């Protein structure tokens, strides 16, 4: 093999490696449901097969916490710093306050939990009374996240009635990189709850729900930084230049 050919192959391998690091990905949930601890739906109710999951904190009382799991085993850790969440609400009556003051607290479930269940929960069986990350003995109408959960940041919502009611997080308010890098089993569970007891209702299509008219489940997105894309472009340009020189 000539030095020139070896150089060309090395450039191709480098470009392939950079492309693998920069390639975007978008994941749908591996499992999703809501945990309820209220007078309407008690702590043992399960909605794993429902077409929606909910977030609500109402004085009625209504306590509903989103509980969503993703399989990140196929994602390059180089992309963890770009991770964001996005989705659509089911309808304009369930997308939080119209004044744009809606906000959730977001928690991540630690891989090692006191119950030993961790990310191995079954969406057809999990409920507030047995789920990891929350105080299972909290009185009806109340809730608490325990030491099995880590606070990660917040998500804000504009309340604008623009179909199909999209929402998304940003890396400034919700930086998922440390949590994702700490993962040991390829699965991550995120928990979502309203920051205030104002009664606002949020409904999101589950993985079993509708995907019509732009709707669908909440996605975990990995988008490469512009600098990574630029490196790929430079590498590919270098390969092209080297190939042209080798043929001249």
The tens digit of pLDDT for each residue in 82-139 reads 999 999 999 999 999 999 999 999 999 999 888 778 899 999 999 999 999 999 999 9
More reliable by pLDDT, 120 or 225: 120
Q: How far apart are CA 93 and CA 95, in angstroms?
A: 6
**pLDDT at residue 244, rounded to an integer:** 54
Q: How far apart are CA 2 and CA 182, in angstroms?
A: 44
What the block records as the tokens of 17 is 């490696």
Peptide bond into 146 cis (omega under 30): no
Peptide bond into 61 cis (omega under 30): yes
Q: Is the pLDDT confidence value at 140 over 90?
A: yes
More reliable by pLDDT, 159 or 4: 159
């Amino acid at each position: 093999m000539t030095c020139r050919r070896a150089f060309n192959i090395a450039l191709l391998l480098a470009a392939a490696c950079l492309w693998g690091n920069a390639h975007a990905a978008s994941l749908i949930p591996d499992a999703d449901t809501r945990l309820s601890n209220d007078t309407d739906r008690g702590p043992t109710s399960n909605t794993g097969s429902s077409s929606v999951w909910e977030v609500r904190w109402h004085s009625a009382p209504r306590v509903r916490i989103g509980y969503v799991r993703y399989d990140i085993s196929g994602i390059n850790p180089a992309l963890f710093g770009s991770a964001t969440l996005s989705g659509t609400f089911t309808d304009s009556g369930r997308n939080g306050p119209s004044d744009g003051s809606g906000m959730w607290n977001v928690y991540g479930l630690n891989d090692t939990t006191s119950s030993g269940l961790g990310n191995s929960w079954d969406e057809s069986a999990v409920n507030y009374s047995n789920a990891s990350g929350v105080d299972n003995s909290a009185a009806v109408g109340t809730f608490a996240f325990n030491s099995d959960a880590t606070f990660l940041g917040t998500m804000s919502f504009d309340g604008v009635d623009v179909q199909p009611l999209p929402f998304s997080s940003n890396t400034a308010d919700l930086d998922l990189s440390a949590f994702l890098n700490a993962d040991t089993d390829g699965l991550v569970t995120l928990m979502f709850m309203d920051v205030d007891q104002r009664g606002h209702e949020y409904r999101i299509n589950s993985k079993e729900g509708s995907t019509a008219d732009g709707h669908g489940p909440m996605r975990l997105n990995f988008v490469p930084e512009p600098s990574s894309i630029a490196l790929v472009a430079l590498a590919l340009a270098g390969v092209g230049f080297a190939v042209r020189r080798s043929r001249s």
